[in-house]
Amino acid sequence: MTTRRELANAVRALAMDAVEAARSGHPGMPMGMADLAEVLWNDFLKFNPANPKWSNRDRFVLSNGHGSMLQYALLHLTGFDLPMDQLKRFRQLHSKTAGHPEASETPGVETTTGPLGQGLANAVGFALAEKVLAAHFNRPGHDVVDHHTWVFLGDGCLMEGISHEVASLAGTWGLGKLVAIYDDNGISIDGEVHGWFTDDTPARFEAYGWNVIRGVDGHDAAAIAKALSAATGQHDKPTLICAKTIIGFGAPHKQGKEESHGAPLGKDEIAAAREQLGWKYAPFEIPADIYAGWDHRKAGIEAEQAWNDAFAKYAAAHPELAAEFSRRMSGELPADWAAKSQAFIDKLQADGPEVASRKASQMSIEAFAPLLPELIGGSADLAGSNLTKWKGSLDAATGDSAGGKGNYVYYGVREFGMAAIANGLALHGGFIPYDATFLVFSDYARNAVRMSALIPAHAIHVYTHDSIGLGEDGPTHQPVEHLASLRYIPNNQLWRPCDAVESAASWKAAIERKGHPACLVFSRQNLKHQQRSAQQVADIMRGGYVLSDPLDTKFRAILIATGSEVEMAMEAARALAQQGVAVRVVSMPCTEVFDAQPLEYREGVLPSWCRARVAVEAATADFWCKYVGLDGEVVGMTTFGASAPAPQLFEHFGFTVGHVVDAVKRTLR
């Protein structure tokens, strides 16, 4: 009969062989956590290899993602669509076995982990999603949402600051179905961690409000099973299992040392490890009895079928809830969404409110949230400034999730953790999350925003106080380079609307961008309403459009602007018209969407024959050079801001109608 250790050794062998073949990778963690993984995946984890997206599966997150061969070995052995050929091509171009797990590439991978600590944060988002979704849909006798989130993590994850942010929240929220398994091996790249990591980790997590299981032998299957069983019996607190392991377990000369952490073991050490482990098989060879011991396909199908049967009974008892659950988990928007959202935008155009775009954002949330029960918001202790709450907002994270109606998360001052948790909420399914802070604090969250785009995850990141218009708080709080920084993230869309209509359109675009993120950037100060035709309103969704053209003559120059500077561009165009200079004004709320339009459309908005162009934005100037060319100018920022009332700052830094007029004239010489 195949033993547990033999099953775990299959993981160790695959990790050694794949890293050796790639001449790159991290064999130590997979070898050290193989026993933990074997017990979890064979005895506790609920999943179906034939349907990696089954909604009630347990979520498994490898936060210490450098040990990716652990997860790839587990996916292959248990029956996911990850053939041995992919393991042999570990870390190679176009393989499904990247250096760190990627959700978009590998079936069975729940989230893209890489930067340490973010996997733990995503896992907190998964567990929060499970809790809130259960409150929304479960009914007595019908627990259609009932699964755990399991996360493997290491010393590096716990050293990263984000782990403090999200572990604190998980304890506060009482996420009883979150179980973190800490690979306490005492080794990182630089060697033994006691020289730079002496935290009392168990006490730290107990202080957060976690259930902590200390001193588990990570190589004793019985002790592991006991700890996992105790964790699943804890319903009111998340659990941290502190498992003592030996990194590189089985490699006689390198186990327990940093040499096994992030480099191939080498052929001699692998041969010695095979002998010590009693693994008699060739590289990438797995015997039939080992495969049989791991195969989860039949059990997975049976588990999902049991849930399908339970869901059928739920649907019979609660047909409307069942239909709504299915819609939300599929990611489809309500049937009336398109018409009602557009009707709101058209009404704003007719009414013409002159408000700060952050207020227009709140108006949009008020209009859209009742249409979208999946919309779940939150702010990093700035709800009153970001204006992210609406009249139907109810605390989603505490108690019983507001009796099943919870839809708002209080994150406290934790921007990085907030954005990464939002990624987990989005990836779980059933929710479209939005989070919020000041634009300048996107620096704190930026790596999680980058991961939103890379995973990708349908998270909406809301930023207010978008320029030197912030005023008296001064340069520390005035974003200058942040718009460009966020625009440069591939697959991200940044919207900076100029009035209430564009603000609502940006929300609509972000909500409809299924499976991908967006950043919505709003002003503190009031913005003037712009007149538009029905076609111009429609063209907002194309990212850039002609807002104003001369009536009776051909334009000679083009002004391009975003946000609060569009009004300035319009005033400059009128002033130039009085001087006999005809100017087109282009509003470009989202450069990424505009750049993706057909060439014919882009040429129609920014015709190549017109080289007299001026871009106006109260942010880093250099970004706009690609739109104005060598003959154009940019009215933008080249320094940090200053502390003064906003009107004085705009004048001081050259954001005046006169300055824009002069810039246009210079391009015409």
Q: Determine whether the annotation assigns residue 114 to a binding site.
A: yes
| Spatial CA neighbour of 597 closest among 349, 588, 507 | 588
For 192-220, give the DSSP string.
Answer: EGGGT----HHHHHHHHT-EEEEEEETT-
Return the H-helix or E-strand segment holding 372. none
Marked catalytic residue, from 38, 110, 259, 415: 415
Distance CA 540, CA 50 (A): 42
What is the identity of the amino acid at 544? G
| Spatial CA neighbour of 645 closest among 528, 521, 473, 475 | 473
Is 415 in the active site? yes
| Spatial CA neighbour of 564 closest among 612, 614, 529, 606 | 529
CA atoms within 13 A on the CB side of 169: 29
Q: Determine whether the annotation assigns residue 517 to a binding site.
A: no
Q: Determine whether the annotation assigns residue 564 to a binding site.
A: no
Q: Determine whether the annotation assigns residue 441 to a binding site.
A: yes
* ∠ Cα 113 507 536 (to 5°): 130
Q: Determine whether the annotation assigns residue 187 to a binding site.
A: yes
Alpha helices in 217-296 (DSSP H): 221-232, 267-277, 288-294
Q: Determine whether the annotation assigns residue 35 to a binding site.
A: no
Alpha helices in 369-499 (DSSP H): 383-386, 401-404, 415-428, 442-454, 482-487
* ∠ Cα 357 361 367 (to 5°): 140
Q: Kindly state the DSSP code that residue 82 receives in the 8-state scheme.
A: -
Edge-first strand order for the sheet with 149-154 is 59-62, 149-154, 178-184, 239-244, 211-217
| Spatial CA neighbour of 435 closest among 485, 478, 474, 397 | 397
Distance CA 557, CA 633 (A): 11
Q: Determine whether the annotation assigns residue 115 to a binding site.
A: yes
Distance CA 247, CA 532 (A): 64
Q: Determine whether the annotation assigns residue 290 to a binding site.
A: no
SS3 108: coil
Q: Determine whether the annotation assigns residue 455 to a binding site.
A: no
Distance CA 65, CA 203 (A): 25
CB of 560 within 8 A of CB of 591? no
Q: Determine whether the annotation assigns residue 473 to a binding site.
A: yes
SS3 521: strand
Distance CA 4, CA 35 (A): 8
Q: Determine whether the annotation assigns residue 430 to a binding site.
A: no
Burial 448-474, CB ≥16 within 10 A → b, else e: bbbbbbbbbbbbbbbbbbbbbbbbeee
For 439-552, strand residue ranges (E) read 460-464, 494-495, 518-521, 545-548
How far separated are the first and last CA of the chain, in Å rounded? 88
Q: Determine whether the annotation assigns residue 155 to a binding site.
A: yes
Q: Determine whether the annotation assigns residue 147 to a binding site.
A: no
340 burial (CB, 10 Å; 0-12 / 13-18 / 19+) is: middle
| Spatial CA neighbour of 586 closest among 551, 560, 553, 564 | 560
> Annotated binding site for Mg(2+): which residue ranges?
155, 185, 187
> Annotated binding site: which residue ranges?
26, 66, 114-116, 155-156, 185, 187, 261, 358, 385, 441, 465, 473, 477, 524
> Annotated binding site for substrate: which residue ranges?
26, 261, 358, 385, 465, 473, 477, 524
Which residues are known catalytic residues?
415
